[in-house]
Amino acid sequence: MATDYFGVLGLTRGASDSEIKRAYRRLARDLHPDVNPDPEAKERFQEVTRAYEALTDPEKRRIVDLGGDPFDTGGGGAGGFGAGGFGGLGDIMDAFFGGAAARGPRSRTRAGRDALIPVELELDETVFGTTKEITVDTAVLCSTCTGAGTAPGTHAATCTTCSGRGEVQSVQRGFLGQVVSSRTCPSCGGTGQVIPEPCPECAGDGRVRARRTISVKVPAGVEDGMRIRLSGQGEVGPGGGPAGDLYVEVHERPHPVFTRDGEDLHCRVTLPMTAAALGTTLSLKTLDGEEDLDIRAGTQSGSVITLRAHGAPRLRATGRGNLLVHVEVATPTRLDAEQEKLLRELAALRGEDQPESHREAQGGLFSRVRDAFNGR
């Protein structure tokens, strides 16, 4: 039966990509071996990582949606003749009419699976790039038997059950005549060989689990959710087979000042109304260092000032994005007597202290709204 990978992540079938991503992040942070030493948590982390890989890879997801298991090496896939014990139409014809030609033993050595590990980075690390030392827990080649699976000084032997063919046959008589069927040898698992004395280190698997530290070069401009591929750094396969790839998924931590939108960065500054009216120069701390930000006289709340080439680098092109500074003008909520007197004098000088001026301002606003509705 195929594994319910949605259930492994605590989701219902048909969950969106964003829901899958959020569920995996939540579980991976709790179960990762670096933060949770419980052996059961380690196994659960591997299950969760496998489920995430199955649901985010388009080809594997297609197999899951068809009711199959993308990691099933038994040939069942998403159904069809392979799931019922026959390899295809030729096997069915052989079974009924006596062909049943032996397919031969399969190799004990098989390619390993890919592995996926999350890494959390600060905003400046994703913008400018960095090199990270990460710890991974994967299957590696057994140093004692170098993948052979046999104890030192011993060798694999031909399977006596199938005589090295990897298959056993059975013959039955039916209404169509003699029926010959083949199945994988239960003694050797289809390899045609058995290991009389397994390696004491890996128990005959040719690989062991080990924790190791590797360096990951993070390119400048990566974004949250992107994956960095490290070829041959994944799981070593059974029998010492070639290792799969390791995918490092970038998780960008929230920044207290800046937010990111692709290649552009955003931040907010708050100005007193006097500075916005008269103009000023602010010292703004950006990811590149201190920058002078010129505020023009009469700047309105909601204005955006652009600092060009102060954003994130473009991964597949030259240049950088921009830093967009959003200006908010703060209106004082409390005034002492002297401040209130000065503001009233300013209002009088500008002719803004008369009721007529407020009505005119309102009338101007209403006329603009009316004109907008009338299409003027």
User: From CA 14, how far away is CA 353, in angstroms rounded?
Assistant: 63
For the record, the structure tokens of 202 come out as 């890996």
User: From CA 96, how far away is CA 235, in angstroms rounded?
Assistant: 41
Number of residues that make up the chain: 376
For the record, the structure tokens of 359 come out as 């009505």
DSSP structural state of residue 236: P
Pairing assessment for the beta strands 323-330 and 304-307 based on DSSP bridges:
antiparallel
Query: What is the distance of C-alpha 363 from the center of its chain?
Result: 55
Pair 170, 248: CB distance under 8 Å: no
Specify which residues 183 forms β-bridges with. 168
Pair 265, 324: CB distance under 8 Å: yes
User: From CA 237, how far away is CA 242, in angstroms rounded?
Assistant: 6
User: From CA 367, how far away is CA 345, in angstroms rounded?
Assistant: 29
Residue 202 labelled as part of a binding site: yes
CA angle 290, 294, 300 (to 5 degrees): 125
Taking alpha carbons only, the member of 313, 300, 305, 216 closest to residue 260 is 313
Pair 318, 221: CB distance under 8 Å: no
Cβ neighbours for 358, distance < 8 A, ≥ 6 positions apart: none
For the record, the structure tokens of 145 come out as 């038997």
Type of residue found at 16 = S
User: From CA 10, how far away is CA 24, in angstroms rounded?
Assistant: 9
Residue 267 labelled as part of a binding site: no
Q: Which residues are annotated as a binding site for Zn(2+)?
A: 142, 145, 159, 162, 185, 188, 199, 202
Binding residues: 142, 145, 159, 162, 185, 188, 199, 202
